[in-house]
Amino acid sequence: MRRTVLAALLTYACSGLVRGADPARNPALSGADALYPELEKLYIDLHQTPELSFQEVKTSAKLADRLRVLGYEVTTGLGKTGVAAVMRNGKGPTVLVRADMDALPVEEKTGLPYASKATATNENGETVPLMHACGHDVHMTSLIGAAMLLSKAKDRWRGTLLIVAQPAEEGGGGAGAMIRDGLFQRAAKPDFAIALHDSATLPAGQIGVTSGYAHANSDRVDITIYGRGGHGAAPQTTVDPIVIAARTVLALQTIVSRENNPQDPAVVTVGSIHGGTRNNIIPDEVKLELTVRSYKPEVRERLLAAIARIAKAEAAASAAPKEPTVTVSEGGYKAMYNDPEVTKRLTAAFRIAFGAVRVTEAPPVMGAEDFGDFGREASCPSVMFMVGGVERSKFAAAAGDMTRLPSLHSSLWAPDREPTLKAGAAGLTVAALELLGKP
């Protein structure tokens, strides 16, 4: 199956197929190509002026201004910098269409003539470089493109459009912040929620769909292991927390390899370990920082319980003077679940609009997304689909080896902007039209 999908993608990557959806297949997309110069200008502007999480003041203003001109009722300042824009067009379902706005503290090294040179001050008071290394500039531009197309095609749908520009997707809990600030009360409560994400593993213009779990639960766990410090030459007088930490790191690996069902994806990664000041001093404590990924709620609970159990047991086995502290940070991401029935509907609509060769099944990833919070809070089905961003010639040259291509969050990630933006704007439009009421 994977070889079949790869072969189809390589065939597409090497072909001369149209890069936007075919207006003949979906008349609402007529005029989409004419919008591209304006969307390209917006994309380059957003790419050059990235802003950190909850600092998206200029970005949100740009989007809000464009939405007002299109006739949407705009509310700003939701969740600090979020934007909600509503267009009502008779009786019918309410469909939320979302894009995220924040950038990453990454120095861009793409060499593009419009590469970001922006910097900002982070929460620690440090000056950091900025880049849209996760493609949120693609998401925002596609959102505006869809908002433009849908505002011009009101004769083809009925209901309410809720356009959402969300802050702080990158670890900041921006979706939850907008919800707590009254998004659904101050704008509209959706019956469906849709979004897209650019992909560094699909050729530009390709649509990827995933049914069921698509992104993982993501939890940060901090462990502090306590010992009794002393001279490195007299370890018998101490309880060495570095040794306890080393044994704990190794034991944690058995959670996934020996306690978890192999058919339930899970990750336990110790990404940081800090302890000690010099070679001949045994410290009093060591700190571990973990990221924990899963899909199912019961797997998440089992992983977190096992981490605490193992950390405490290893400390007890070494006669540590006190039990380690194990802290699960609040605000972790919950798994994003694409509703299977709605995914099926959207897949069929994409195949009609783009052609079957342009639509493929995308595997779930262990990365995290907070888009699912909108659907959970509104008790409505939600779906995020993927839009390929890899230049076709580069995708074909990689021949399936994704390590040869820059990934998302890489300083070298540079989507092939024209086919990616055209497919993004068209994809959101097609998805919204499928879920909105019909005249």
Q: Are 184 and 86 in contact (CB under 8 A)?
A: no
- pLDDT value at 32 more than 90: no
Q: What is the pTM of this model?
A: 0.91
Burial classification of residue 329, based on how many CB atoms lie within 10 Å of its CB (0-12 exposed, 13-18 middle, 19 or more buried):
exposed
**Whole-angstrom distance, CA of residue 130 vs CA of residue 108:** 7
Mean pLDDT of 19-29: 65
Identical topology for domains 2-216+333-435 and 217-328: no
What are the angstrom distances between the C-alpha of 136 and each of 34, 117, 131, 282? 23, 17, 10, 46
Residue 418 annotated as catalytic:
yes
SS3 336: strand
pLDDT given for residue 410 in this prediction: 98
Domain residue limits, the chain? 2-216+333-435, 217-328
pLDDT given for residue 16 in this prediction: 38
- pLDDT value at 15 more than 60: no
Range from 7-11, 157-161, 244-248 carrying the lowest mean pLDDT: 7-11
Residue 29 binned pLDDT confidence (cut-offs 50, 70, 90): confident
Looking at 165-211, list the stretches that DSSP marks H as alpha helix, in order from N- to C-terminal side.
174-180, 183-186
Residue 19 binned pLDDT confidence (cut-offs 50, 70, 90): low
Tokens of 273: 């370990």
Across the chain, mean pLDDT equals 94
**Whole-angstrom distance, CA of residue 225 vs CA of residue 185:** 45
Mean pLDDT of 315-319: 98
Task: Identify which of 136, 115, 119, 137 has the alpha carbon closest to the alpha carbon of residue 128.
Answer: 119
SS3 14: helix
CA dihedral 26, 27, 30, 35 (to 10 degrees): -60
3-state helix, strand, coil in the chain (%, to 5): 40, 25, 35
Q: How many CA atoms lie within 13 A of 317 on its CB side?
A: 12
pLDDT given for residue 332 in this prediction: 83
Residue 10 binned pLDDT confidence (cut-offs 50, 70, 90): very low
Q: Are 386 and 186 in contact (CB under 8 A)?
A: no
pLDDT given for residue 55 in this prediction: 97
Tokens of 355: 């052609």
pLDDT given for residue 1 in this prediction: 42
Question: How many separate helices (H) and strands (E) can be counted in the chain?
Answer: 12, 18
Q: How many CA atoms lie within 13 A of 25 on its CB side?
A: 17
Element (H, E) at 197: strand 192-203
pLDDT given for residue 50 in this prediction: 98
Question: What fold does the segment set 217-328 form as a domain?
Answer: Alpha-Beta Plaits (3.30.70)
Burial classification of residue 122, based on how many CB atoms lie within 10 Å of its CB (0-12 exposed, 13-18 middle, 19 or more buried):
middle
Neighbours of 247 (CB within 10 A): 17
What percentage of the chain reaches a pLDDT higher than 70?
Answer: 94
Q: In sequence order, what are the residues at sequence separation of 6 or more whose Cβ sits closer than 8 angstroms to the Cβ of residue 271?
A: 289, 290, 291
Task: Identify which of 421, 437, 430 has the alpha carbon closest to the alpha carbon of residue 354.
Answer: 430
Neighbours of 182 (CB within 10 A): 13
pLDDT in tens, 415-430: 999 999 999 999 999 9
Element (H, E) at 96: strand 94-100
Q: How many residues are present in the chain?
A: 439
Question: What fold does the segment set 2-216+333-435 form as a domain?
Answer: Aminopeptidase (3.40.630)
Residue 301 binned pLDDT confidence (cut-offs 50, 70, 90): very high
**Whole-angstrom distance, CA of residue 292 vs CA of residue 284:** 26
Task: Identify which of 107, 273, 249, 81 has the alpha carbon closest to the alpha carbon of residue 173.
Answer: 81
Q: Residue 212 region, left (φ>0) first, then alpha (ψ -120 to 50), else beta?
A: left
Residue 333 annotated as catalytic:
yes
Catalytic-labelled residue, pool 43, 213, 295, 333: 333
What percentage of the chain reaches a pLDDT higher than 90?
Answer: 91
pLDDT in tens, 77-97: 999 999 999 999 999 999 999
Mean pLDDT of 46-63: 98
**Whole-angstrom distance, CA of residue 363 vs CA of residue 6:** 12
Burial classification of residue 262, based on how many CB atoms lie within 10 Å of its CB (0-12 exposed, 13-18 middle, 19 or more buried):
exposed
pLDDT given for residue 295 in this prediction: 97
pLDDT given for residue 171 in this prediction: 83
Handedness of CA 320, 321, 323, 326 (dihedral sign): negative
- Phi and psi at residue 18, to the nearest 5°: -60, 150
